[in-house]
Structure formats: structure tokens, C-alpha cells
Chains A and B, each alone.
Chain A
Amino acid sequence: MLLLLLGIIFLHLAALVLLFVSTIVSSNIYYTLTHHHYRSVTDSPPPLFFFSLAEWIQAVQAVMILSIIFSCLSLFLFFCQLFTLQKGGRFFLTGTFQILASLFVMSGAIIYTVMSPEWVLGTYSFGYSYILAWVAFPLALISGLIYVILRKRE
């Protein structure tokens, strides 16, 4: 019983950590991309007040951050429901938030996959943060599904 609980928490935390690493590492890629694009179009350094030249990069950023927020919320809700749920109840809310987080990661990775080839050189496209995002998506999805199926005992 305790083993199951620990396993579930470990899975959740693993997905969360992957999301964190992927988002934090890729944050500098966004500015490198726009910086590089600016330099290739004009010949001078980008302005101090930085205007982003691509809206999709900001959308990817927003979606990744949202997935982290939802995953953290679902972890918090899991501990709440662990102590307040009636016997035999299901962790619907926790599972919903975790599944939403995985959907956000998926949409972020898909937007990046679709939009990046027309914009950048091959070197930037498949850094390890991109791979981490794709790994975090199924982990979060499985974790969310487990929460939805799981029933509270004792």
C-alpha cells in the first residue's frame, strides 16, 4: 500500500522535474532564436527593449509554464485529497489537472515541432530540452490516468 503510494508520488515528481528542466533550459533558446533572427535580418545588435519577432515562441513558453503550474497544482491537490477524500473515492480532480498538464506539454511540443523548421538552422531544433518535453508528456499522462483510476482505501 505504502509502496504504491510512493511509486505514484515518484512518477508524478519525475514528470514534474522533467517539465521544470525542459522549461528552464529552453528559456534561453527562445532569446537565442529571436536574437539570431534579428541579427540575420538586420546587421546590428538587437534593441535593449526586446521585441519578440515570433509569436509562436511566446505561445510555446506560455504553454510550458502552464503545464508546470497545473502539475504542481495536481500534486498539491493529491495530498489534499489523500486526507479529505472518503473511502472508495477517486482522485478525479488530481487526475484532471495532471492530464491537463500533459496536454499542455504535448501542444507546446507540437507547436515547436511545426513552427521551428521554417525559422531556424538545424542546430537549434532538437536540443535536449525538446526531447525532455516529449518524455515528460507520456509520464504525466500515465500519472494522470493512474490518479483517475485509483481508489482510496483504508
Chain B
Amino acid sequence: MLTFLALTSVALLGIVPEQSQAIVIYTGWERHALVGSDVRLSCSFFSWRWTSEDVSFSWTYRPDGSRDTISIFHYTRGVPYLDNKGPFKDRLEFVGNPGRRDGSILIKNLDLSDNGTFTCDAKNPPDIVGRPSSVRLLVFENVPIQAGVITGAIIGVVLGLLVLIVVIYYLMRFLVARRVFSLSVRSVSGLWPAALCQSGFCQGLELKPEPIPGMDTCVAKLA
């Protein structure tokens, strides 16, 4: 039984690469960066095969609004070839690790003209059938505000103010009632504190103490 299972699993593992599953390439979807900064465009792939020595990565670039794509980077047989004539001359750097299936590049000193789509194509012979993946680069002069941040901020501030006003209102009522209560305790000694605390009036929110000579106007204003 066990040997049968082992044989079938080995057979399956043997069959799968023979049909050469497609290679799957992963890059980001979008990258945002400021003018003058550096950005790292990552590219990696998944393949059923072991990483071969002939693994190759190539990056192409299509500016925004243009239909032409130009090649800017190629890595093959262990040697990276960087752009030395095009728009990324002297600005590219290979920071990937092909042995670990990482073909990332670093673009330095970005400019507004670098807005565009970067496509990474990786090949892992004999696994060569795959769809190149694209990442869109957006370069900004200053950090833009995301949609909805200002909306949320305004709503939050106003509702926060509302809650604050309600809390302060109840706090004032509580404090003033307590102040009147404590003053009345001082003038009428002994009787009040014990009696009132027992009947649960210590919270003092709705408390209307008996009018004390001189305190009439105070209480009337509070009510």
C-alpha cells in the first residue's frame, strides 16, 4: 500500500514538469515615488522547475502616453546588462538575486518624465511559457492627498467637537450640582450627608437641594 502511494506520487511529480507549467511572474501593481528619490521595482517568478543557470530577466519601459516600448535591462547567463543609451543611462542598478529568483532593479534620481509602465519578463529554461507582468510608476512632485482623507478629517473633527460639547455640558452640570451640594452640606451640618448618601443622591446630577437662604438665585439659574 505504502509503496503504491510512493510510486504514484513520484510518477505525478515526474509527470508535472513534463507538461511544462507556465512560469508565473510577480511584480507590484503600482509604485509611487517623489521626484529625485530612488525606487526599487521588484520582479520575481514562480516555476515548477529548479532555477536553471540560464535564467534570464528583462525589463522594458513604456512611457505614459506613448506606444513604444524600449528595453532597459537584460540579465542572462549570470551577467546583467544595463541601459547605457536610453533614458535610464547611469541611473539603473541591478539589485536582484537571480539565484533566489529575484530580478529587481533600482532606478535612481527619478524625474517626472519617468512616469510609465515597466514590464518584467523572466525565463527559466526550459520553463519559458509565461506572461510578463507590469508595474506602473507614478512620480509626484509633492506627496498627494489620498481621496477621502480630507472628507474623513472634516467629518471626524465636527463629530468630535459635538461629542466634546456634550461631554463638557454634562460635566459642567455634574460639577455645579456637586458644588451646590457640598456648599449645602457645609451650612447644614450633620443631617444632610448621611441621609442623602444613603438614599443614593451622591451622584448629584439631577439633585435639587432645598433652597438655602442666599443660595436661591444660584439654584434657580442652574435648573
Contacts and interface: CB of A to CB of B under 8 A. Distances in A.
Q: Is the pairing of A and B real? A: yes
Interface of A: 31, 34, 42-44, 47-53, 55, 58-59, 61-63, 65-66, 69
Interface of B: 29-30, 32, 64-65, 115, 136, 138, 144-155, 158-159
B30 A51 contact: no
Contacts of B159: 66, 69
28 contacts: A31-B147, A34-B147, A42-B65, A42-B115, A44-B65, A47-B136, A48-B30, A49-B146, A50-B147, A51-B144, A51-B145, A51-B146, A51-B147, A52-B147, A52-B148, A55-B145, A55-B150, A58-B149, A59-B151, A61-B151, A62-B150, A62-B151, A62-B153, A62-B154, A62-B155, A65-B151, A65-B155, A69-B155
Identify which of B65, B144, B147, B149 gathers the most chain A CB atoms within 10 Å of its CB: B147
Nearest to B152: A62
Contacts of A63: 154
Query: Closest 5 CB pairs between A and B?
Result: A43-B65, A62-B154, A58-B150, A52-B147, A51-B144
A59 B154 contact: yes
A44 B137 CA distance: 12
Contacts of B147: 31, 34, 50-52, 58
A58 B138 contact: no
Given A48-B29, A62-B152, 15 more contacts: A34-B147, A42-B115, A43-B65, A47-B136, A50-B146, A52-B144, A52-B145, A52-B150, A58-B147, A58-B150, A58-B151, A59-B150, A61-B151, A66-B155, A69-B159
